[in-house]
Amino acid sequence: MKIDSSIAQQIVDTVKDVCGHNINFISSEGKIIASTDPGRVGTFHEIGKQAAITEQLLEVTDDDSFYGTHKGVNLPFFWQGECVAVIGISGDPDEVRKYAYLAFHVTCLLSEFFDGWSG
């Protein structure tokens, strides 16, 4: 299953409206497929890929600690037991973690509605 990039873009834009922080939707290969920072779409996100590989939430406490990465939270998203994307949100991890979970839950709801998506 692949997350549809236009729906992913709507999710990141909507959550940014709530929290004011930049958000990325990252493929399990580490490619940013949707972002509130248009210049980042199509670029590589090292920690996003690592979060997909480890299947765990990864937090970054310093900008540029890893290639293509800003300080923030990276939360893997699973569909039918497989990590299919990572939701990354920039900012102090203690402040933005709750917004990463908001984006995660919105994605869960939409993936159920669209029965997995493809794109």
Domain edges within the chain: 5-113
Mean pLDDT over each residue of the chain, to the nearest integer: 89
Percent of the chain with pLDDT over 90: 70
For residue 113, pLDDT over 70 is answered with no
CATH classification code of 5-113: 3.30.450.40
Structure tokens at 6: 């236009």
Name the residue among 53, 88, 49, 50 with its Cα closest to residue 72.
Answer: 88
By residue count, the chain amounts to 119
Confidence of residue 111 (pLDDT cuts 50, 70, 90): confident
